[in-house]
């Protein structure tokens, strides 16, 4: 019997805890991870999907069930939700930072993601699947940055 094959972690498939902080990360497709990790790390990616640690204090970015780990220094872009992210991107496809969004709100009165994206990037193309470290659309982080701008305007 091959004990190594017993899929202990499969019981919690999709709910795999970060090996460092033990918090449950979000699932990220292999294709996304391939595009986000540094070139010299590519070989280690393999074929499986990954999990992304969302804890702001934790240094781990991607990890999988087999023990493969990429910390935040092994990837090409800063993770906006980690505490020392610099710059803090609201949109990875167009490389628009949170500060850019706030500026558009404060100085140009813009309050809409589409308008702000066009303002900074005329040829904006959604490539979140390979540009955003989560593989999901930037909408949530972008709208949060817009709200931040609006709040600072009103205060
Ligand atoms: Zn973690």
Q: Which CATH architecture has domain 89-154?
A: Orthogonal Bundle (1.10)
| CA of residue 58 to ligand 1 center, whole Å | 5
**What is the fold of 9-74?**
N-terminal domain of TfIIb (2.20.25)
- What's the pLDDT at 8? 45
- What's the pLDDT at 14? 54
| Chain length of the chain | 155
Across the 155 residues of the chain, what is the mean pLDDT of every consecutive 10-residue run?
47 75 95 96 95 97 96 95 94 95 97 95 87 92 96 88
Burial call 36-62: b when 16+ CB within 10 Å, e when fewer: bbeeebeeebeeebbbbbbbeebebbb
| CA of residue 51 to ligand 1 center, whole Å | 10
- What's the pLDDT at 7? 46
37 in Cβ contact with 63 (< 8 Å)? no
Q: In this structure, what token pair is assigned to residue 80?
A: 């906006």
- What's the pLDDT at 125? 83
| Domain layout of the chain by residue ranges | 9-74, 89-154
- What's the pLDDT at 2? 46
């Amino acid at each position: 019997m091959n004990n190594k094959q017993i899929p202990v972690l499969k019981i919690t498939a999709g709910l795999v805890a970060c090996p460092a902080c033990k918090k449950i990360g979000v699932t990220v497709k292999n294709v996304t991870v391939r595009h986000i990790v540094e070139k010299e790390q590519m070989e280690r990616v393999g074929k499986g999907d990954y999990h992304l640690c969302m804890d702001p204090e934790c240094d781990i970015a991607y990890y999988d069930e087999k023990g493969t780990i990429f910390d935040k220094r092994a990837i090409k872009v800063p993770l906006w939700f980690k505490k020392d992210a610099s710059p803090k991107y609201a949109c990875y496809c167009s490389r628009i930072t949170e500060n850019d969004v706030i500026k558009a709100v404060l100085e140009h009165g813009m309050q809409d993601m589409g308008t702000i994206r066009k303002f900074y990037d005329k040829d904006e193309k959604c490539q979140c699947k390979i540009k955003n470290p989560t593989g999901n659309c930037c909408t949530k982080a972008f709208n949060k940055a817009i709200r931040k701008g609006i709040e600072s305007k009103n205060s």
